[in-house]
Amino acid sequence: MNSFLLINPLSGSYSRALHDEILSSLQGAGFFPECRTVTGPDDARRVCAEIEAASENPLVIVAGGDGTINAVINALSPGRATLAVLPVGTANVLALELGIGSVADGIGRIARGSTRKLSVGVLERAGFAAQRFVLMAGIGLDGDIVGGVRVREKRLLKKGAYLLSALRCLLKWPQGRFTLLADGHSVECHSVIVCNGSRYGGNLVLTPEANLFEPLLDLFCITTESRWSYLRIITAVMAGRPCRPGDVALLRAGQVQVEGERAIQLDGDYLGQFPVRISVVADFAGIIV
């Protein structure tokens, strides 16, 4: 199997020394990948097209954060690649979901070669190409918070930039609910986080039953509009306790439709405000576990 290392020098914990260490460790484990730089979706599309032209079933090692992984997921063709994750980003939520605690751990897993089939979510909106996600789609307040993150604050404060954006959203609180259809079942939500994995933003677990390897989505539907209720939800999630049924509804579905124009984020990147339809692609790629 031909191997390729896609590394993002803009990721949160990247350094030239780490770059060299990754290459040296991979070579020590018997892998001599072609190294490519990927800083965003355009790079990912170009590089992945070159990889697929050169190899029918490549091993694609992504050294970056969740945004880099999302760009690669959207650039690969379904059913061809095996993915491996080396956590070099700010939050590294996918790595946490897979239990990968460090770059060295990720390289050790590549050497062992154990894989599973990864399912991914797909978001569709009128007038745009479909977009895949491996972790979550946040619609409503979650999208507003991600959309409000300022580049300078993120560069300086890392995760703290999201807290600042959340505080700004508290001052300008969005009102009103939207209708969500989950496999035809209707729910009125103020926000929803459509989860492919269980974790959110790091170690917070929103949907304990979510599984990257199952072709189902787990929905964390916030049905309350109250600021105080949101505080209660945050406190419960951080403490690992169930949320009150009047505040949150947990659902599982293969097809989700959201009516009305609401702010949307995919794997931590802001998309805009649109009605959307979300589904699942089973067995999108192998992934090193």
| CB proximity list for 29: less than 8 A, separation 6 or greater | 107, 108, 110, 111
For the segment 259-276, the average pLDDT, to the nearest whole number, is 90
For residues 161 and 90, membership in a common domain is answered with no
For residues 214 and 172, membership in a common domain is answered with yes
Torsion over CA: 247, 268, 289, 78 (sign): positive
Q: What is the pLDDT, as a whole number, of residue 91? A: 84
For residues 93 and 222, membership in a common domain is answered with no
Q: Which one of 92, 113, 134 terminates a domain? A: 113
Q: How far apart are CA 210 and CA 136, in angstroms?
A: 11
CA trace torsion 25, 29, 32, 35 (10° rounding)? -40
288: in domain: no
Q: What is the pLDDT, as a whole number, of residue 213? A: 97
Reading the block at residue 260, the tokens are: 């009305």
The answer, yes or no, to whether residue 167 has pLDDT greater than 90, is no
The answer, yes or no, to whether residue 153 has pLDDT greater than 90, is no
For residues 270 and 216, membership in a common domain is answered with yes
135: in domain: yes
The answer, yes or no, to whether residue 158 has pLDDT greater than 80, is no
20: alpha, beta or left? (left if phi > 0; alpha if psi -120 to 50): alpha
289: in domain: no
Backbone angles phi, psi at 162, to 5 degrees: -70, -35
For residues 128 and 271, membership in a common domain is answered with yes
Which residue segment(s) compose the domain that 179 sits in?
Answer: 122-283
- Mean pLDDT across the chain: 93
For residues 256 and 131, membership in a common domain is answered with yes
256: in domain: yes
Reading the block at residue 99, the tokens are: 């239990």
> Residues 50-98: pLDDT tens digits?
999 999 999 999 999 999 999 999 999 999 999 999 999 988 999 999 9
User: What's the CATH code of the domain at 92?
Assistant: 3.40.50.10330
25: in domain: yes
Q: What is the pLDDT, as a whole number, of residue 148? A: 85
For residues 148 and 243, membership in a common domain is answered with yes
Backbone angles phi, psi at 221, to 5 degrees: -95, 115
Q: What is the pLDDT, as a whole number, of residue 261? A: 87
pTM for the full model? 0.91
> Residues 199-236: pLDDT tens digits?
987 788 999 999 999 999 999 999 999 999 998 998 99
For residues 76 and 168, membership in a common domain is answered with no
Q: What is the pLDDT, as a whole number, of residue 258? A: 94
- State how many domains the chain has: 2
Q: What is the pLDDT, as a whole number, of residue 162? A: 81
Between residues 13 and 217, which one has the greater pLDDT? 217
276: in domain: yes
Q: Which one of 64, 92, 113 terminates a domain? A: 113
